[in-house]
Structure formats: structure tokens, C-alpha cells
């Protein structure tokens, strides 16, 4: 069989630890035998980020802007322990944070549902898609320690040099202080991405912030969403029979748990980070969650929602077989290949992405799965296999459909 041809390269961002091992397995067994893969490769593994003073992360983000589609492996965000472990020059920032800051945009995360795995929340019947604002707030913050006796103030200097100041706190004892920002442009882009996505999949859109406590910052998010909805999307929503609904974040959390799913929940950056882990886990597993960053100018970056699965990696280094679930990483590849196919008008490549996803789901529904899913699946004659065996089983199913 002739391999499927591509026109434009994908931006391929390799990563760390167990997911780096899965990454090469997925390429070797599921992609390269069938697709003449064109990719521009960036090694975002921590040693190479350190070697390049993190320039490679910025270059990768710029490449996504150039080509339009990227696929990223999970990467380590260093903490003090990682600085020691990898003998790093410094505690480099989160690569995802860096890429999001360059691309801007919104991250949409949705669970991959398979027969036999039922959500922990018994009322959930349909997927809940989490739309996470991917710019600013705590991910682009400035923070300091404030020694006893110091005064912290917020100061904004306008273009003519006039200062507006407010007191944050007079520190009697030692403390901490943080500054963060967002922009009307980014919040507007977030709002439009969410309204469009809701119209695309004909699902209600919920949005939540803490505007009762944050009367200027969070309130600005609420106002921008309301204004854009009224002026640009209300008529289309009414015609599509879907609704836009704003509520406080704590009220949203309670309603989400009582709901039956089937809607999009838009959250600010931090809320989205935390809530997507909760929603993914309650739907089955973090390893069964797709994630795509959509930038306002139409660039797409696909990844898995989970991390580098460090505990499994240490076992792998000890020579043990691991049963790490590659599904979310496979779906990152299929998502990126499908989008590349759409942009370059390559129906064969799009069909390949569909078949790769179907082969993956069929494998699990056929009873072959990684061990994290064994305890969750209710199907009979299920069999827990290691990662390599699982990839081989998918490859076999995939080859049959091609």
C-alpha cells in the first residue's frame, strides 16, 4: 500500500519521560507505516530546553504560527527538585505557558468516551467540553516576597506618564505579593472562540468567574462576554436553539455535578486548569482527554491533557514493563493530522485520522486496554496489556481498515 502523502509539515514537539517513550512508539507503529510524515521536529525534552536556554520552546511556538498546526508531547515543568535532578541552569517556565503566551487562544478539552466506561458522576450522560482561556492571569504573573515592614502597591503608568496607585498591603510581618494581567483583546478572542465552538457543535455555553469578589478583574471578563454575545452571537444562538449562561464559578461547579453533560464550560485560565483535571478524571481517566489550543488567528496545537507520567517512567528505567495509556497522545496526533488534512485539502489524511481514532476505540471496546482502564471498564473478557502490546493491537485493527 502506498503511504498517504502530506503537503505542509506539522510542527512536532517531542517531550519528556514516559510520554516521550510513547511518542516514538506511536510514530513507529501507528503513523509512519501508513503516512509519509512531514514534520518539523522540535525537541522540547527538558535537557534540550536547558541546552538552548528555552529558545527551542519559543521557536516551536513561532513555527506553529508559520505552519498553522502543531502536535505536542507532554513536558516537564521544572520545580526545585527537577532543577536538581536534571542539573538545570535555571527553573525554566512551563513550556505550555510559554507557547500559550505566544499563540494566545483557548484550550478545548473533551473526554474520549468508550463503551464500558461510565462516568463517576452517575448523572453525566454526555461529554462536557472544557474551554480554558489560555492567556495571562497566574500563568504570566510576577510575584515577590515582601519582607516585614514593606508596603506593596499596584501602580499603572499611562502613556503620558501619569501614575495611578492603590495600596495592596502594608506588611507587618513577612509575606508575599503577586501581580497579574489580562487584556481586552485576549478576553474577546476567548469569548469569540467559545461562542463559535458552541455554534459548531450545537451545545450550550456556560461561563463562570468570581466576579462578586473580583469586581474589576473578573467582572471585565463577564462584561466582555455579555457584550460580544449580545452584539454578535445572540441571534445565531437563538436560531441554533442553544443558550449562553453566565454564573459564579462556585455555582457552576455545583450545577456541573448535577447536570447530564452535553455542554461547553468556559473557564478562566486557572479554573480551567483545575476543573479540566476533575472533569477528565470523573469521566474515566486523564489519559482519555483530548486537548487543543485554538488561537484567535486560527492556529491549532494538539496535545494530551495529562503530564509525563513520571512514576511509570521510573519503573520503565528500572527495566519494568509499564502499562501507560497512550490514547490521549494518539488523539493529539489524529487531531493534528485531521486539521492538516482539512487545511491542505487532503481527504485521505482526514480519513486516516478518523480510522486511527476508531481503531483505538475499537481496541478498548474489544477488551484490550491499558491497566488504568481495567478497573473502570465493565465489559466482559477484558485484558490489561502493557503499552507496547496495546499499540500493537491498535496497529493491527488499523491495518485492517486501511
Retrieve residue 349's grid coordinates.
Answer: 489524511
Q: Using CB under 6 A, which of 269, 290, 295, 324 touches ligand NAP? A: 324
Specify the residue, 39 or 96, whose C-beta has the smaller distance to ligand NAP.
Answer: 96
Instruction: Judge contact between 87 and 57, C-beta under 8 A.
Output: no
Partner whose binding site includes residue 383, from Mg ion, ligand NAP, none (CB under 5 to 8 Å by kind): none
Retrieve residue 379's grid coordinates.
Answer: 465489559
Specify the residue, 31 or 46, whose C-beta has the smaller distance to ligand NAP.
Answer: 46
Retrieve residue 80's grid coordinates.
Answer: 526545585
Q: Does 271 help bind Mg ion (rule: CB under 5 A)?
A: no
Q: What is the DSSP string of 178-229?
A: EE----HHHHHHHHHHHHHHHHHHT--EEEEE-TTT-TTHHHHHHHHHHHHI
Residues numbered 268-307 forming contacts with ligand NAP, rule: CB under 6 A: 286-287, 303, 306-307
Q: What is the DSSP string of 242-310?
A: --EEEEEHHHHHHHHHHS---SEEEE-HHHHHHHHHHHHHHHT-GGGEEEEEE-TTS-EEEEESS---H
Q: Does 100 help bind ligand NAP (rule: CB under 6 A)?
A: no
Give the single-character DSSP code of 117.
Answer: B
Q: Does 372 help bind Mg ion (rule: CB under 5 A)?
A: no
Binding track, positions 273-292, relative to Mg ion; x by CB under 5 A: x-------------------
Q: Does 91 help bind ligand NAP (rule: CB under 6 A)?
A: no
Q: Does 150 help bind ligand NAP (rule: CB under 6 A)?
A: no
Which of 24-32, 267-275, 294-302, 310-318 is the region at the interface with Mg ion (rule: CB under 5 A)? 267-275
Partner whose binding site includes residue 104, from Mg ion, ligand NAP, none (CB under 5 to 8 Å by kind): none
Binding track, positions 360-399, relative to ligand NAP; x by CB under 6 A: ------------x---------------------------
Q: How far apart, in Å, are the Cα atoms of 337 and each of 7, 28, 172, 238?
A: 11, 15, 57, 34
Partner whose binding site includes residue 129, from Mg ion, ligand NAP, none (CB under 5 to 8 Å by kind): none
Q: Tell me phi and psi for residue 40, to 5 degrees.
A: -100, 115
Ranked by CB distance to Mg ion, the top (closest) residue is 273
Q: Compute the C-alpha angle 68/70/75, nearest 5°.
A: 150
Partner whose binding site includes residue 325, from Mg ion, ligand NAP, none (CB under 5 to 8 Å by kind): ligand NAP
Binding site for Mg ion (CB under 5 A): 273
Amino acid at each position: 500500500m502506498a503511504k498517504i502523502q502530506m503537503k505542509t509539515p506539522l510542527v512536532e514537539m517531542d517531550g519528556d519521560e514516559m510520554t516521550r517513550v510513547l511518542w516514538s512508539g506511536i510514530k513507529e507503529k501507528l503513523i509512519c507505516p501508513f503516512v509519509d510524515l512531514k514534520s518539523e521536529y522540535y525537541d522540547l525534552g527538558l535537557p534540550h530546553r536547558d541546552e538552548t536556554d528555552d529558545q527551542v520552546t519559543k521557536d516551536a511556538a513561532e513555527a506553529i504560527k508559520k505552519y498553522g498546526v502543531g502536535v505536542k508531547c507532554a513536558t516537564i515543568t521544572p520545580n526545585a527538585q527537577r532543577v536538581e535532578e536534571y542539573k538545570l541552569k535555571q527553573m525554566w517556565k512551563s513550556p505550555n505557558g510559554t507557547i500559550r503566551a505566544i499563540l494566545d487562544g483557548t484550550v478545548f478539552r473533551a473526554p474520549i468516551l468508550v463503551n464500558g466506561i461510565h462516568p463517576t458522576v452517575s448523572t453525566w450522560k454526555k461529554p462536557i467540553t472544557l474551554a480554558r482561556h489560555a492567556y495571562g492571569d497566574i500563568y504570566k504573573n510576577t510575584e515577590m516576597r515582601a519582607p516585614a515592614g514593606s508596603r506593596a502597591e499596584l501602580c499603572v503608568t499611562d502613556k503620558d506618564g501619569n501614575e495611578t496607585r492603590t495600596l495592596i498591603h502594608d506588611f507587618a510581618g513577612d509575606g508575599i505579593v503577586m501581580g497579574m494581567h489580562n487584556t481586552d483583546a485576549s478576553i474577546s478572542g476567548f469569548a469569540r472562540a467559545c461562542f463559535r465552538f458552541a455554534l459548531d457543535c450545537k451545545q450550550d455555553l456556560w461561563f463562570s468567574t468570581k466576579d462578586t469578589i473580583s469586581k474589576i478583574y473578573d467582572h471585565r471578563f463577564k462584561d466582555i462576554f455579555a457584550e460580544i454575545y449580545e452584539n454578535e452571537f445572540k441571534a445565531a444562538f437563538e436560531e441554533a436553539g442553544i443558550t449562553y449562561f453566565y454564573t459564579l464559578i462556585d455555582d457552576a461547579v455545583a450545577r456541573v455535578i448535577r447536570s447530564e453533560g452535553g455542554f461547553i464550560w468556559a473557564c478562566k485560565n486557572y479554573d480551567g486548569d483545575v476543573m479540566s483535571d476533575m472533569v477528565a478524571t470523573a469521566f474515566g481517566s486523564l489519559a482519555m482527554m483530548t486537548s487543543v489550543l485554538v488561537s484567535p488567528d486560527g492556529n491549532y496545537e494538539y496535545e494530551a491533557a495529562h503530564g509525563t507520567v513520571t512514576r511509570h517512567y521510573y519503573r520503565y528505567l528500572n527495566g519494568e514493563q509499564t502499562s501507560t495509556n497512550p490514547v490521549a497522545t494518539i488523539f493529539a496526533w489524529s487531531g493534528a493530522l485531521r486539521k492538516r488534512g482539512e487545511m491542505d485539502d487532503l481527504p485521505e489524511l482526514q480519513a486516516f485520522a478518523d480510522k486511527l481514532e476508531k481503531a483505538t476505540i475499537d481496541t478498548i471496546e474489544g477488551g484490550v486496554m491499558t491497566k488504568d482502564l481495567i478497573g473502570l471498564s465493565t465489559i466482559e473478557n477484558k485484558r490489561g496489556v502493557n503499552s507496547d502490546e496495546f499499540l500493537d493491537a491498535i496497529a493491527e485493527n488499523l491495518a485492517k481498515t486501511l
